[in-house]
Amino acid sequence: MVMPQHTLGGLSVGAIGLGCMSFAPVYGSVANLDPTSVVLHAVDHGVMLDTADGYGDSEVLIGNAIRARRRDQVVIASKFGIVSGPRPGQPGVVNGTPEYVRASVKRSLQRLRTDYIDLYYQHRADENVPIEETVGAMAELVASGEVRFLGLSEASVDTIRRAASVHPIAAVQSEWSLWSRDIEREVVPVCRELGIGIVAFSPLGRGMLTGTVTSREQFGEHDLRRIHPRFTADTFPTNLATIDVVQDVASKRGATPGQVALAWLLAKGQDVVPIPGTKHVRYLEENLGAAGVDLTEADIARLDGLTVVGSRAIDPTFIYRTTPPMRS
């Protein structure tokens, strides 16, 4: 299968990427995980690997896997900035100081066993550090050859504009799916105005849009979905009912529900790259097959009408983050 190309700023990548947070224990145990086969399968299909320094051993596992390929055959995106993620009663901690930027990229390069990262994001904006200072330090990494393109994740419109005034931003990563469409109001229009691509994480609704999740009892003890607002005892039944529409469209198109959810995103533009996560080659193949699913205008209109209940974030203050102005 030849993967169609989409464009993130000046970076051409496969239309569907591989989200590598699945290599971390966010949705359950990853004990004894060896993702080499799925990573190499992704690389062989021109798929971007999207990871972060906060995804457990993800960078190390990818670094070990890609030793079997020439570096110019691999597109790697990684992120820095989240020191610790939010938990109930415990806010997340972010560091966007120039010193932290420089130290973080060196650690990531070492773990990834490479001398450059194709796309390097600030994982979350630091509300104590002007974005101009952070992106200024990131721009130095481009000048030194350690990074090729710059990105932001879950940034506000103000942060995106100010960052782009310092250095071109190739991509903004945010949650975007049939279940999460809030970025369409402001973030997507601004990105398109500035020539910035959009990388959509959790494009399968944290697994729900695949049609394989039918009960909260499927979640293991350490699965983060147990405390997610869209998977509570109150919201789960309502949100589960939305999958009937996706499954009906899928049956009409000879596709799986997950493929329909991804095809819906691909139809939003050639500057959109969804990054579903998986640890298995067969699910990667299924996800990549979404590029061959043609949805009709009626399908898209029907899917556009889906609604869900509950916040998309455990801590809403951890998205659309804005930084203080430059110090005088």
Q: Which of 55, 100, 121, 320 is catalytic?
A: 55
Q: What is the mean pLDDT of residues 231-249?
A: 95
Q: What is the pLDDT of residue 328?
A: 66
Chain-centre distance of CA 311, in angstroms? 18
Query: Is the pLDDT at 2 greater than 80, yes or no?
Result: no
Which tokens sit at 228?
């997610």
In the block, residue with structure tokens 């100081």: 97
Cβ(84)–Cβ(53) below 8 Å: no
Does the residue 247 lie in any domain? Answer: no
pLDDT tens per residue, range 163-201: 999 999 999 999 999 999 999 999 999 999 999 999 999
103, part of any domain: yes
Encode pLDDT of 43-89 as tens digits.
Answer: 999 999 999 999 999 999 999 999 989 999 999 999 999 998 887 77
Full-model pTM: 0.95
Look at residues 82, 23, 30 and name the one whose alpha carbon lies nearest to residue 50.
23
The pLDDT assigned to 220 comes to 87
Higher pLDDT, residue 132 or 30: 132
pLDDT at 68: 83
pLDDT value at residue 221? 83
Percent of the chain with pLDDT over 90: 87
**Is 116 in the active site?**
no
Average pLDDT over residues 290-319: 95
| The pLDDT of residue 92 is above 90 | no
Q: Is 215 inside a domain boundary?
A: no
pLDDT band at 239 (very low <50, low <70, confident <90, very high): very high
Model pLDDT, residue 90:
81
* Confidence check: pLDDT of 1 > 70: no
Distance, in Å, from the CA atom of 198 to the CA atom of 262, rounded to the nearest integer, reads: 14
Question: Is 223 a residue whose pLDDT tops 90?
Answer: no
Please report whether residue 43 resides in a domain. yes
- Percent of the chain scoring above 70 in pLDDT: 99
Could you tell me if residue 182 is inside a domain? yes
Within a domain: 117: yes
The Cα 25–Cα 166 span in angstroms is 36
Domain count, the chain: 1
pLDDT (average), residues 108-133: 98
Range of the domain at 135: 5-206+257-295
Residue 85's pLDDT is 84
Rg of the chain's alpha carbons, rounded to an integer? Answer: 19
Tell me how crowded residue 110 is: count the other CB atoms within 10 A of its CB: 12
Region 209-230: what's the mean pLDDT? 90
Determine the Cα angle at 62 with ends 58 and 65, to 5°. 145
**Average pLDDT of the chain to the nearest whole number:** 95
**Whole-angstrom Cα distance, residue 151 to residue 123?**
9
Question: What's the confidence (pLDDT) of residue 229?
Answer: 93
Whether residue 89 lies inside any domain: the answer is yes
Compute the distance between CA of residue 172 and CA of residue 176 in angstroms, rounded to an integer: 11
In a domain, 46, yes or no: yes
At 263, which CATH number? 3.20.20.100
User: Residue 81's pLDDT is what?
Assistant: 97
pLDDT score recorded for residue 270: 97
